């Protein structure tokens, strides 16, 4: 599950962690940042930057960047025992969110200036309100209400919710949003999405130029950086990997990982140790985050609403075939999971690991249907529940 790598969130930045990226050390720096993203965050804070935490994919990071905040995605920590969090969340709920609340109650995210959560699931919604009540720092907490359908009224509602978020962020930042700054932020984050797609393209080859572990660590590393710094890191990693010779053929099975949040590379490491390779994924710290760009034409707030509501393919959003009368089951499966077929084809996937954290109803209830879809494609798959 969550981060939980060698060093604690409270350690100070070292000279090694401040090393500038270039075409020869991108992967090394990505790994250092992955092992403790808060090191760079604290350095930024000491330099006068303001950091805005966000939970899950749905808070529009472009608004944060445009108003001068550094977006910082919040995770849990699988190596930190949940103690304080047990006072407010029972054990039989999502271990990821229990860990996140536990870290907040222990002051591990006190370097943030605020937190934006979203209506991702029942426990996710509850966690935002628990954070407001039981986490003393940061004091600013905003709950973004996200609809569960992609119809036109839902889009209008969500745009209004984004306007409310914008007003709260403007109040905290002390400045009004400038349209030019917002368009520049959208362009910068679209550039990051494009770079992440380029990164994943390095795994299309047989064998892949980039390992699943390296890709996961890099994708996690950029979730705690200013967008332009993250873009520089991604460009450095891509340049470095492209200079490496193609690995010798190994015959390793090529896997796709689907499911709930994975903010730790240990599952990918386990797969590699077993002699297989994760070549792509459908997770929220993976392709769900960068498969499509925010539109740059027209009203930017409407474009943000459309992207975050309709473009992100998460089971928390309800989708169905267009025909309202007597839809065949297979058509509904295609409407919900049809985007997986190109991933399976283009990355030459041999099998799929369907995974979810324990008590994740959002993904757990989806398992029978997604298995039916994959079986219909003739793709081998199995389900793994973990904490």
Confidence at 265, pLDDT banded by 50, 70, 90? very high
- The CA distance from 45 to 342, in Å, is 41
- Ranges of H-type helices in 202-285: 212-221, 227-243, 266-273
Question: Is 24 a residue whose pLDDT tops 70?
Answer: no
214 within some domain: no
Name the region of 345 (left: φ>0; alpha: ψ -120 to 50; beta: rest): alpha
- Look at residue 146 and tell me if it is in a domain: yes
The candidate with the shortest Cα–Cα distance to 210, out of 238, 191, 234, 236, is 238
Q: Which domain holds residue 140?
A: 19-181
Checking if the pLDDT of 18 tops 60, the result is no
Q: Is the pLDDT of residue 98 over 50?
A: yes
Q: At 6, is the secondary structure helix, strand, or coil?
A: coil
Q: Is 294 inside any structural domain?
A: no
Query: Does residue 319 fall inside a structural domain?
Result: no
The answer to whether residue 234 scores a pLDDT higher than 80 is yes
pLDDT tens-digit series, residues 151-174? 999 999 999 999 999 999 999 999
- Provide the pLDDT confidence category of residue 245 given band limits of 50, 70 and 90: very high
Q: Is the peptide bond before 207 cis (omega within 30 degrees of 0)?
A: yes
Q: Give pLDDT, residue 325.
A: 58
Q: What is the mean pLDDT of the chain?
A: 92
**What residues form DSSP beta bridges with 256?**
280, 352
**Predicted local confidence at residue 1, as pLDDT:** 40
pLDDT at residue 329, as a whole number: 87
Is the previous residue joined to 380 through a cis bond, with omega within 30 degrees of 0? no
Whole-angstrom distance, CA of residue 195 vs CA of residue 75: 23
CATH classification at residue 58: 3.40.50.11890
- The answer to the question of residue 96 being in a domain is yes
CA 37/CA 317 separation, integer angstroms: 29
Alpha carbon distance 124, 126 (integer Å)? 5
Domain count, the chain: 1
Other Cβ atoms less than 10 A from the Cβ of 252: the count is: 18
Which token pair is 111? Answer: 């370097």
Radius of gyration of the chain (CA): 20
- Residue 120 φ/ψ, nearest 5 degrees: -90, -35
pLDDT, residue 326, reads: 63
pLDDT of residue 12: 40
pLDDT for 320 equals: 74
**pLDDT single digits (tens) 115-134:** 999 999 999 999 999 999 99
Q: Indicate the angle between helix axes 227-243 and 179-201, nearest 10 degrees.
A: 20
Is residue 87 in a domain?
yes
Q: Quote the pTM value.
A: 0.92
Buried b (16+ CB within 10 A) or exposed e, 52-81: bbbbbbbbbbbbbbbbebbbbbbbbbbebe
**pLDDT for the residue 324:** 53
Arithmetic mean of pLDDT, 47-58: 97
In this predicted structure, the answer to whether residue 25 has a pLDDT above a threshold of 50 is yes
Q: Quote the pLDDT of residue 79.
A: 87
Tell me if 116 is assigned to some domain.
yes
* 314-366 residue pLDDT tens: 999 998 766 655 668 888 899 999 999 999 999 999 999 999 999 999 999 99
């Amino acid at each position: 599950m969550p981060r939980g790598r060698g060093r604690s969130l409270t350690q100070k930045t070292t000279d090694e962690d401040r090393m500038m990226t270039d075409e020869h050390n991108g992967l090394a720096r990505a790994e250092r940042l992955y092992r403790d993203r808060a090191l760079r965050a604290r350095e930024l804070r000491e330099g006068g930057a303001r950091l805005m935490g966000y939970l899950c994919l749905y808070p529009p990071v472009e608004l944060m960047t445009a108003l001068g905040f550094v977006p910082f995605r919040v995770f849990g920590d699988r190596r930190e025992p949940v103690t304080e969090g047990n006072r407010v969340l029972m054990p039989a709920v999502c271990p990821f969110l229990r860990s996140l609340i536990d870290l907040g109650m222990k002051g591990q995210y006190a370097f943030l200036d605020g937190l934006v959560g979203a209506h991702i699931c029942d426990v996710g919604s509850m966690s935002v309100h628990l954070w407001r009540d039981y986490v003393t720092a940061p004091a600013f907490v905003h709950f973004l209400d996200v609809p569960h359908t992609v119809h036109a009224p839902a889009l209008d509602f969500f745009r209004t919710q984004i306007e409310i978020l914008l007003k709260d962020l403007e109040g905290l930042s002390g400045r009004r949003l400038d349209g030019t700054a917002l368009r520049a932020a959208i362009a910068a984050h679209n550039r990051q999405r494009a770079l992440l797609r380029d990164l994943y393209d390095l795994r299309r080859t047989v064998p892949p130029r980039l390992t699943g572990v390296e890709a996961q660590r890099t994708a996690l590393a950029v979730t705690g950086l200013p967008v332009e710094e993250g873009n520089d890191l991604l460009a450095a990693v891509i340049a470095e990997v492209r200079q490496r010779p193609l690995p010798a053929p190994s015959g390793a099975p090529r896997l796709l990982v689907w499911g709930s949040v994975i903010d730790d590379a240990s599952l990918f490491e386990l797969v590699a140790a077993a002699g297989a390779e994760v070549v792509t994924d459908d997770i929220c710290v993976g392709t769900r985050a960068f498969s499509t760009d925010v539109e740059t034409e027209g009203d930017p707030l409407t474009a943000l609403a459309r992207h975050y509501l309709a473009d992100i393919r998460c089971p928390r959003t309800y989708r169905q075939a267009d025909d309202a009368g007597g839809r065949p089951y297979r058509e509904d499966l295609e409407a919900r999971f049809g985007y997986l077929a190109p991933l399976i084809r283009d990355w030459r996937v041999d099998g799929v690991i369907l995974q979810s954290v324990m008590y994740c109803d959002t993904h757990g209830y989806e398992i029978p249907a997604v298995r039916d879809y994959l079986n219909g494609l003739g793709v081998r798959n199995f389900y793994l529940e973990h904490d």
